[in-house]
Amino acid sequence: MVKSAHIDTFATDNLPDKSLWPELILSHPAATYPEQLNASYELLERTIELVGRDKSAIIAADGNFTYGELLVLVNRISNYLLAQGVVPGNRVAIRSPNNAMAVAIWLAILRVGAIAVTTIPLQRAIELAKIVEIGQIQFALVDHRFVEEWQAIPNYSGETFIVGGGSNFDLEIAKQSAEFKVCETAADDVSLFAFTSGSTGVPKATMHFHRDILTIADTFSKHVVKPTKDDVFAGSPPIAFTFGLGGLVVFPLRVGATTVLLENAAPPVLLEKISEYKISILFTAPTAYRAMLAQLEGKDVSSLRRCVSAGEHLPLATWRAWFEATGNKLIDGIGATELLHIFISASDHEIIPGLTGKPVPGYQAMVVDENFVEVKDGEQGFLAVKGPTGCRYLNDARQKDYVVNSWNLTGDIYTRTPEGYFKYESRADDMIISSGYNIAAPEVENALLMHKAVAEVAVVGLPDEERGMVVTAYVVLRAEFIASDAMAKELQDHVKNQIAPYKYPRSIHFVDSLPKTTTGKLQRFRLKS
């Protein structure tokens, strides 16, 4: 067994006990790798061997890069990180929109053997503080446009490097050598902390190895998306989300394709860029596909050959409307941050509208009841999955809830057809999935309770045709305050200033009391009926 390259052993020391891991199926040809592996090397040098240095790699607002130019930039950043004292196993945060520099920084962090910790630009200081605390972040590379919230984090004692805007970082990078000896990491060295919202509002850090990064490209992407070097990728998810990291970075780089990175990927912009750059593979959420449908007239989307939908439930009506309008069969998929990317899906002739699909090659799935007994086809139950990737939380007691009997329990309710297809039914917890974002109801409640007018509050997700679910708050005001439209807007603005704006309640109902049990426990289900 290859020894870990990590000098800083924090990640290894905080992995769950192996008895709490899911079974990892590593025998499948799609997930067989050498014991020594660095994902950055595989995504750059190995790919250059296939497509050459002059092949277009990235098109972005901050510059266009060939694979050779990207390699030089990544090497320069890697040398800079070493000069600043970054050692293998250190945690390095990235705070940036989707652009070329963000990708180069991510690749450099992996290249030096450190651990990348991605953050969403919209996150506020109170949310970032939790990430810093849980991940014990030591270094941060922050886009100059997103410095304010980072600097507002209390008790952060690490180093911060401001990127862009004529910063010293840019000047120092240019001075560095274009050559770099890649850290000889073990395949199962931790390379990424990806945070996911917990149902309690306390985020969980999922831990992923170097081989996991390649696995998602060699399973879902290779067998379902089926990209080639001639494809052009684009999409809306932030690369801070594993959906975006896979679809917009790992998958195109693995095959030598081109990725178009958009700092603003609103539906009208996506439509414009599809035509401009002849996008062939698109990653976004059902919400965006629905929005684009209303704006398709006069737009050229003929270059599209693969459209991947994930992040929330894909309604059958959306699938049919997109197919009728474009001739493209939406590729539905369910994934999880805990497993890094999509593990059930289908493409081409295997797609059945209204069904998610079958387990991706390398993965297994079943539907179980509350006693973990597999249910009959057609009966609802909890989705259980295992494969070459799986849940490993960073020092979190919730590991035992997610992994049961060596299977990953995703928190989704599914049925299986006699033909082996899986059909989504609902979420099993109070997590609100709106426009592809996971929003923990308690976190929104806590933000509202920080306002002086709020006495009690309950937040739920209600069905919404456009967003899948819409964040809805039921608010009991203190006696001295009056319910009004102005008060509702004030509370919405307050939430936007406390946590990421996308989490704010789009609907607020003022009520005299909240439904509770005799013991005082809130009954959210009564608010959903």
**3-state DSSP assignment of residue 194:** strand
Residue 227 in any domain: the answer is yes
Domain boundary among 416, 445, 475: 416
Residue 13 in any domain: the answer is no
- pLDDT tens, residue by residue, 338-365: 999 999 999 999 999 999 999 999 999 9
Residue 428 pLDDT greater than 60, yes or no: yes
321 and 210, same structural domain? yes
- pLDDT tens, residue by residue, 191-237: 999 998 765 568 999 999 999 999 999 999 999 999 999 999 999 99
45 and 118, same structural domain? yes
467 and 375, same structural domain? no
Name the more confident of 476 and 442.
Answer: 476
Residues in contact with 362: Cβ distance below 8 Å, sequence separation at least 6, in sequence order? 25, 28, 30, 31, 215, 219, 387, 388
What is the CATH number for 179?
3.40.50.12780
298 and 165, same structural domain? yes
340: nearest Cα among 318, 370, 362, 313 = 362
439 and 412, same structural domain? no
Tell me the average pLDDT across 36-64: 98
Alpha carbon distance 278, 225 (integer Å):
17
132 and 272, same structural domain? yes
Tell me the average pLDDT across 20-31: 90
Residue 238 in any domain: the answer is yes
The percentage of residues in the chain with a pLDDT greater than 70, rounded to a whole number, is 98
Domain boundary among 382, 416, 450: 416
Residue 305 in any domain: the answer is yes
Structural domain range at position 77: 24-400+407-416
pLDDT confidence tier of residue 262, bands split at 50, 70 and 90 = very high
CA dist 226 → 30, 217, 247, 258, 339 (Å): 13, 10, 12, 14, 20
139 and 107, same structural domain? yes
Residue 15 in any domain: the answer is no
Alpha carbon distance 154, 430 (integer Å):
29
313: nearest Cα among 194, 190, 438 = 438
Domain boundary among 390, 416, 442: 416
62 and 199, same structural domain? yes
Q: What is the pLDDT of residue 122?
A: 86
Residue 462 main-chain phi, psi, to 5 deg: -110, 145
Average pLDDT of the residues of the chain: 93
Q: How many folded domains does the chain comprise?
A: 2
Residue 176 in any domain: the answer is yes
411 and 447, same structural domain? no
- pLDDT tens, residue by residue, 76-131: 999 999 999 999 999 999 999 999 999 999 999 999 999 999 998 888 999 999 99
What is the CATH number for 504?
3.30.300.30
Predicted TM-score of the model (pTM): 0.88
